[in-house]
Amino acid sequence: MSTPTGAPAPDPRDFLRLDGLLSDEEQLLRDTVRRFVADRILPEVGTWFDEGRFPSRELAPELGRLGLLGMHLEGYGCAGSSATAYGLACLELEAGDSGARSFVSVQGSLAMFPIWRFGSEEQKAEWLPRMAAGEVIGCFGLTEPDSGSDPGAMRTRAVRDGGDWVLNGTKMWITNGSVADVAVVWARTDDGVHGFIVPTGTRGFEAHDIHKKVSLRASVTSELVLTDVRVPESLRLPEVRSLRGPLSCLNEARFGILFGAAGAARACYEAALDYAGERVQFGVPISSFQLTQRKLVEMMVRVQKATLVALHLGRLKDQGLLAPAQVSFGKMDNVREALWVAREARSVLGANGITLEYPVIRHMNNLESVVTYEGTNEVHTLVLGQALTGIDAFAPG
């Protein structure tokens, strides 16, 4: 079919021909992750979600062989891809499930990135190749029970004792916590905030899984309890002594999320588009109804816009021009739009929209976590407000 101008009719799944913005290499990489997700994630993720588990040990080496773990880092066994390529991988993973994307985000952007960016040569050589291969799983300990959006209020302390450091405190909402071999733990010291590489087998380190979640169920979330955990100075990250360290990691992870959200939204929109074409009521497919068509159109427009924003921010990052406030733009808007799309798609699917036979309710529930983790919608709004006005509105008074 072609239009009167001779241009080909738009593809409902790529309405603005955004594929044309990707190089052949990026398309191959994207297609590879999409195929992996179709083969390895989608057939089982409904069951994982239902049972509240994620087969981390099984999948980590497979993700490692693909090159997904720490893929945008250079050297030490990492693939060294562009930021845009990393984003596209996150988009495809999250079109499968936010849990799969979270696993990869945490491993690459939160556990490997600080070692790569702030670690010593010895630390990088020891940890990064095994983490890139998926042999060693990492987690990231910043958030605490009473310190979420305000990481400066953290209570976890590290005290120097001879050649060692002794860590005490509790970390909360830690993705991969109980399956991790190593935790990058941030702690207050007499000399600023420091990061420590803590092997999870160290005496005094405990991880307890958080149960009764109804979101991100195909993902391991834990509490870390550190009681007189003793690590040598050689496991302290030498190149950082402030909150700038962990915040820069979060900035990396948020970059992946703003792509991932576009993927979750796409999955919901496509599920709704397919369903609306097949579901017959009053003798016609429900896609015949004007109200349904409006929903499909609004979803499609939001998915395309989110993807465009993501790609644009990816290109900026690859040019070294991406500011943290611009990442906030993408994280804030793409996740809220994805949540809107998920809820709208769920209404198109009617009762079927609430079962795990379809992906929609799973994405919808997952996005309820994604909208608050790695900076809540409110925090990102204030980051943008500060960027616009020059006035910091975080702490009233």
Partner 1 sequence: MNVVVCVKQIPDPADPGALDPTTKTLKRDGKLILDESDSYGVEMALQLVTAAGGGEVTLVSMAPNGEVSGLRTALAMGAAKAILVSDDALAGSDALGTAKVLAKAIERVEGADLILTATESSDGYTGTVPEQVAGLLDLPSVTFAKHIEVDGSTVKVQRQTEAGYDDVECPLPAVVSVTAGVVEPRYPSFKGIMAAKSKPVDTLTVADLGLDASQVGWAGAGQEIVSIEEAPAREAGEVIEDDGTAFEKIVAYLDNLKVL
Active-site positions?
A: 374
Choose, by CB under 8 A, the member of 45, 60, 83, 85 that binds partner 1.
85
Nearest C-alpha neighbor of 143 from the set 238, 222, 61: 222
Among 41, 73, 79, 262, interactor with partner 1 by CB under 8 A: 79
Instruction: Find out whether 258 and 93 touch, Cβ atoms under 8 Å.
Output: no
Question: 71 or 250: whose CB is closer to partner 1?
Answer: 71
Stretch 154-183 residues interacting with partner 1 (CB under 8 A)? none
Contact stretch for partner 1 (CB under 8 A) within 62-70, 118-126, 252-260, 308-316: 62-70
CA 29 to chain centre: 18
- Shortest Cβ distance from residue 88 to partner 1 (Å)? 11
- C-alpha triplet 148, 380, 84: angle, nearest 5°: 105
Q: Specify whether the CB–CB gap between 229 and 205 falls below 8 A.
A: yes
Question: By CB under 8 A, is residue 326 in contact with partner 1?
Answer: no
Which residue among 71, 216, 313, 332 contacts partner 1 (CB under 8 A)? 71
Residue 32 CB, nearest approach to partner 1 (Å):
5
User: Alpha carbon of 188 to those of 192, 373, 376: distances in Å?
Assistant: 6, 22, 23
**Is residue 9 near partner 1 by the rule CB under 8 A?**
no
- Minimal distance in Å, beta carbon 27 to partner 1? 8
Among 60, 68, 83, 187, binds partner 1 (CB under 8 A): 68
Identity of the residue, 66 or 299, whose beta carbon is nearer to partner 1 in the bound complex: 66
Of the ranges 76-84, 135-143, 203-211, 332-340, which one interacts with partner 1 (CB under 8 A)?
A: 76-84
* Contact between 347 and 353 (Cβ < 8 Å): yes
Q: Give the Å distances, CA to CA, from 78 to 68, 72, 82, 260, 391.
A: 9, 7, 12, 21, 39
User: Which pair of structure tokens corresponds to residue 82?
Assistant: 């562009």
Measured in whole angstroms, the distance separating CA 319 from the mean position of its chain's CA atoms is 22
Tell me the residue length of the chain. 397
**Do the strands 280-281 and 284-285 form a parallel or antiparallel pair, or are they unpaired?**
antiparallel
Does 277 sit near partner 1 (CB under 8 A)?
Answer: no
The CA distance from 202 to 226, in Å, is: 10
The distance of closest approach from Cβ of residue 293 to partner 1 in the complex, given in angstroms and rounded to an integer, is 23
Rounded CA gap, 298 and 20, in Å? Answer: 22
Rank residues 39 and 51 by Cβ distance to partner 1 and give the closer one.
39
DSSP 8-class letter at 144: B
Within 106-155, residue ranges assigned H as helices are: 113-118, 121-132
Number of residues that bind partner 1 (CB under 8 A): 18
Q: Does residue 28 touch partner 1 according to CB under 8 A?
A: yes
Token pair belonging to 26: 């990026």
Decide if residue 65 touches partner 1 (CB under 8 A): yes
Q: Site residues for partner 1, window 127-156 (CB under 8 A)?
A: none
Residue 200 DSSP label: T
Tokens linked to 188? 């207050």
**Residue number with CB closer to partner 1 (33 or 338):** 33
Does the protein bind partner 1 through residue 332 (CB under 8 A)?
Answer: no
Shortest CB 373 distance to partner 1, Å: 26
Q: Residue 284: CB partners within 8 Å, gap ≥ 6? A: none
Note whether 326 and 301 are within 8 A (CB). no
Q: Which of 52, 80, 277, 285 binds partner 1 (CB under 8 A)?
A: 80
Count of CA atoms in the C-beta half-sphere (13 A) of 311? 17
* Residue nearer to partner 1 on the CB measure, 68 or 166: 68
Instruction: Establish if 88 lies at the interface with partner 1 (CB under 8 A).
Output: no
Distances (CA, A) of 308 to 263, 318, 336, 396: 12, 15, 15, 35
Candidates 25-33, 162-170, 284-292, 388-396; binding stretch for partner 1 (CB under 8 A): 25-33
Select the residue interacting with partner 1 from 41, 45, 66, 110 (CB under 8 A): 66
If the CB atoms of residues 67 and 195 are measured against partner 1, the closer one turns out to be 67
Measured from the CB atom, is 7 or 395 closer to partner 1? 7
Could you list the residues that contact partner 1 (CB under 8 A)? 24-25, 27-29, 32, 35-36, 65-68, 71, 79-81, 85, 89
